[in-house]
Amino acid sequence: MSRVSQLYDLQETDSEIMVRETALGNIEARLGESDDILSARQVLAEDRERAAALEPVQRDHEWQIDDFKTKISAVETKMYSGSVLSSRELTNLQEEVEALKRGQSRIDDALLVVLEQLEGLQISIRVQQSKLSQMEVEWDEEQQRLNAEKAKVNSELDRYKVRRSGQSSLVDPRDLSLYQSLIKGRGGRAVARVERNGCQGCRISIPLYQVQRARSGNEVVQCPSCERILYVN
Ligand SMILES: [Zn+2]
């Protein structure tokens, strides 16, 4: 195998490695906690706290209403028991019942507001819980798929790295050092094919005598424009 075709093979392997390293980076970025799920859990927890805070308010209002009812009932019992003889006393009791009823009516209205808030929150909690469960199922499936993909890419990467190590051990150290310095600054490609006398790295035409020198593959000829190592097959 010629010097340049060894470098070309190394380049092919490095390209495969780079594709997989990029893929791994994308997979890693999508693995782990999902921001959407975290914020959905947060919103749900806040609504649950708000609902939990309203429940004692609801109970307190209900106790107060019961209290009013008991008092109203006691006064009314007294009014209709026949024991009240003066119309003055009767009027006083009547006023007392009306005051108690106004008091109860205020708490009835307040209870209604609390019950409406609670109902709204409970509907919203059910909807959010169902959305969150769906998101968690999808997230779980995606994580499994990504982990499987990661394992596959990693095993391919290992194979290509073994191949790379075998290939680079065959390359002349000076060629390897030139190759390494070129690959860094040139989008990951240090070796360019020559097709119809044109460098496929930068698309310029290569003088014919240089194409001929490169064709043997035993001499490292670089593109006069992009400096990539020219490979003619
Ligand atoms: Zn070029």
pLDDT tens digits along 192-210: 999 999 999 999 999 999 9
- Domains of the chain plus CATH, in order, are 3-10+172-231 (no CATH), 31-169 (1.20.58)
Does the pLDDT value for residue 191 go beyond 80? yes
Read off the pLDDT of each residue in 53-82 and give the average, rounded to a whole number: 96
Contact 154, 194 (CB under 8 A): no
Residue ranges near ligand 1 (ion) with Cβ within 5 Å:
199, 201-202, 223, 225-226
Q: What is the pLDDT of residue 197?
A: 95
The percent of residues above 70 in pLDDT, for the chain, comes to 100
Does the pLDDT value for residue 4 go beyond 80? yes
Average pLDDT value for the chain:
96
Read off the pLDDT of each residue in 22-44 and give the average, rounded to a whole number: 95
Q: What is the pLDDT of residues 43-62, one digit of tens each?
A: 999 999 999 999 999 999 99
Give the separation between CA 223 and CA 230, rounded to whole angstroms: 6
Q: What is the pLDDT of residue 185?
A: 85
Q: What is the pLDDT of residue 148?
A: 98
Distance 202 CA to ligand 1 centre (A): 4
Give the separation between CA 55 and CA 117, rounded to whole angstroms: 11
Q: What angle, 0 to 180 degrees and rounded to 10, lies between the N-to-C axes of helices 87-170 and 35-80?
A: 170
Q: What is the pLDDT of residue 85?
A: 79
The percent of residues above 90 in pLDDT, for the chain, comes to 95
Which pLDDT band, with edges at 50, 70 and 90, does 233 fall under?
confident
Distance 217 CA to ligand 1 centre (A): 17
Which pLDDT band, with edges at 50, 70 and 90, does 88 fall under?
very high
Distance 12 CA to ligand 1 centre (A): 17
Distance 190 CA to ligand 1 centre (A): 10
Distance 203 CA to ligand 1 centre (A): 6
Q: Alpha carbon of 197 to those of 116, 189, 208: distances in Å? A: 80, 19, 7
Which pLDDT band, with edges at 50, 70 and 90, does 134 fall under?
very high
Q: What is the pLDDT of residue 112?
A: 98
Contact 24, 161 (CB under 8 A): no
Q: What is the pLDDT of residues 104-117, one digit of tens each?
A: 999 999 999 999 99
Q: What is the pLDDT of residue 1?
A: 83
Q: What is the pLDDT of residues 219-230, one digit of tens each?
A: 999 999 999 999
